[in-house]
Amino acid sequence: MTKTTDIKKVKEILRLKFGSHLSHRDVAKSLNVGSSTVSDIVVRFNNALLIWPLPDILSDDELTNMLYPVKNAKRVVPDYGKMDIELRHKGMTKLLLWEEYQRSNPHHCYGYSQYCENYTHWKSQQKRSMRQTHKAGEKIFIDYCGPTMPIVNPDTGECRRVQVFVAVLGASNYTFAIATESQKSESWLNAHSRMFEFFGGVAELLVPDNLKAGVIKADRFEPTLNTSYQALASHYGCAVMPARPRKPKDKAKAENSVLIVERWIMARLRHQVFHTLAALNQQIKILLDDLNQRPFQRLPGCRKELFEQLDKPVLKPLPATPYEYTDIHRAKVGIDYHVLYREHFYSVPHVHVGHQVYVHATQRLVRIYYQNECIAQHVKSTRKGGFTCCDEHMPLNHQHQKWSPGRLKNWALQIGDSTLKVVTAILEKKPHPELGYRACLGLLNLARQYGDTRLEQACHKAIEIKNPCRASVASILKSRLENTPAQGDEDTPNISHQNIRGSDYYK
């Protein structure tokens, strides 16, 4: 009975009481209201010094203000946009904000229930992406733009397409973008490193899409992360929570930011020609600063101001050293106590022969790990087919398990003299015989596929062409050339007629 929408019932109570002279109880029964309500309205009528009948010039609003002067005074409408921002701080509640609002407007404020109801109504009128509430410093949403950008070679005119990486902080919408060569692991991880430098800190969670560089196996409940991506998260002390497959709402922030970057950055650069990735990223950085300082349409401030206010104070500090891209490769230690990485062999202590190890390769170093322990470290080499070996990795007696140069030669001799000569040449060619064990075993095992006779003939052929190695013998066997005569052995036909000048002509 205190709202302006009930003023008609108030006037009916006054009519029955003062016009028809009914008792409080009869008025209450007639209008189906409580007797206390009738009594309260009569008291307010008398306190307002009103007379019956009411003057014709008295409007319903004026009557309401006279009967309920305090509760129906004009209320101060809260700043719901500011309230929405405040609620993104950790530990902030609506009750605390309402108490602050009440202290500022003690006689003209909404009650707590109406305050919350009005905020909920305001929230429902905003964009759908605003319905999720993200805590400050909690999540970074990550994705690639669908369209690509062209890079033109100034010398050849060749055009290659590069990807655009986008990341956005959940609470402030502060956005980062950078062009990368591709969506492969190295570009993906290096973009993350640049992203953390841009934000100046680390959030608690990374929410990427399910691309292969980040997620090996997408699963709604237990996704399997790429090993290199997990290593990056460990380096920065954050966790990775990929979006669920076919659930775009999980990364709605990223989807929206990708659309904004495509419209406000990529579309503006569509008529410019870039010859290097660095030149493209320089222009992206300029437009990105403009995007982050552009005022919001529905909220106060801009992305950069919200970032300074919300996310920046609670982001975790960056590690002492920046992340360096590491290519992680699984390998098995061969009998020559070497592992193969990108067509180059690196030694490990001989006690690890036969073990499964992980090769961690950066731009400068190759580290080899067994059960999370670094067992070897080498300077990275680009020489294909080469060996990098440390003397301390070799056994003291230069033997490895049951293999030795003598046993390999005895095995070769059982096949034939030419096979023995090729095995001997392989062992003598290496800095140490054990480095040739792998090649010798590969050579001798060809007998299982081609037989001893053909292997012996192929070894003889390899010696004739002065290339006694496993690869040459394997090529000869594969091409069935072991029985072809050597060049110059064919009978040369005796061609003699008047058109042949002869050697005297050239003297």
DSSP-derived secondary structure for 391-405: GGGS-TTS-BTTB-H
Contact 462, 470 (CB under 8 A): no
Give tens-digit pLDDT for 370-424.
998 999 999 998 888 788 888 788 776 544 445 678 888 888 999 999 999 999 9
Give tens-digit pLDDT for 298-308.
777 888 988 98
**More confidently predicted of 474 and 88:** 474
Average pLDDT over residues 254-283: 89
CA 78 to chain centroid, in Å, comes to: 39
Give tens-digit pLDDT for 453-464.
999 999 999 999
User: How does the average pLDDT of the chain come out, rounded?
Assistant: 83
**More confidently predicted of 481 and 103:** 481
Burial class (CB in 10 A: 0-12, 13-18, 19+), 128: exposed
**More confidently predicted of 137 and 219:** 137
Which CA distances in Å does 139 have to 42, 75, 134, 193?
59, 37, 7, 16
- Return the H-helix or E-strand segment holding 464: helix 452-464
Is residue 192 predicted with pLDDT exceeding 60? yes
Residue carrying the six token digits 């992305």: 303
Give tens-digit pLDDT for 166-181.
999 988 889 999 999 9
> Can you tell me the distance from the alpha carbon of 81 to that of 301, in angstroms, rounded to the nearest whole number?
10
Q: For 139-314, CATH number?
A: 3.30.420.10
DSSP H stretches of helix in 125-245: 185-199, 227-236
What one-letter code names the amino acid at 34?
A: G
Is residue 129 predicted with pLDDT exceeding 60? no
* The pLDDT of residue 5: 43
Q: Are strands 205-207 and 139-144 parallel, antiparallel or unpaired?
A: parallel
What one-letter code names the amino acid at 3?
A: K
Contact 40, 27 (CB under 8 A): no
Contact 254, 143 (CB under 8 A): yes
- Size of the chain in residues: 507
Average pLDDT over residues 108-132: 72
Q: CB-based contacts of 272: which residues, under 8 Å, 6+ apart?
A: 283
> Can you tell me the distance from the alpha carbon of 271 to that of 409, in angstroms, rounded to the nearest whole number?
69
DSSP-assigned beta bridge partners for residue 387: 345
Q: Which range in 81-95, 316-330, 493-507 is most confidently predicted, on average pLDDT?
A: 316-330
Q: CB-based contacts of 142: which residues, under 8 Å, 6+ apart?
A: 165, 166, 167, 192, 195, 206, 207, 208, 209, 254
Half-sphere exposure of 301 (CA within 13 A, CB side): 15
* The pLDDT of residue 54: 84
- Return the H-helix or E-strand segment holding 410: helix 405-415
* The pLDDT of residue 401: 47
Q: CB-based contacts of 221: which residues, under 8 Å, 6+ apart?
A: none
Burial class (CB in 10 A: 0-12, 13-18, 19+), 302: middle
Residue carrying the six token digits 């080899």: 368
In 131-289, beta strands by DSSP E: 139-144, 149-152, 159-169, 175-180, 205-207, 215-217, 224-225, 239-240
What one-letter code names the amino acid at 144?
A: Y
Binned at pLDDT 50, 70 and 90, residue 499 comes out as: low
Is residue 72 predicted with pLDDT exceeding 50? no
DSSP-assigned beta bridge partners for residue 142: 167
Q: What is the DSSP string of 47-89?
A: HTT--SSPPTT--HHHHHHHHSTTTTSPPPPP-HHHHHHHTTS
> Can you tell me the distance from the alpha carbon of 177 to that of 250, in angstroms, rounded to the nearest whole number?
20
- Return the H-helix or E-strand segment holding 374: strand 373-379
* The pLDDT of residue 173: 87
Is residue 286 predicted with pLDDT exceeding 90? yes
> Can you tell me the distance from the alpha carbon of 97 to that of 442, in angstroms, rounded to the nearest whole number?
76
**More confidently predicted of 445 and 244:** 445
* The pLDDT of residue 503: 61
Q: Where are the domains of the chain?
A: 4-67, 80-125, 139-314, 327-393, 405-479
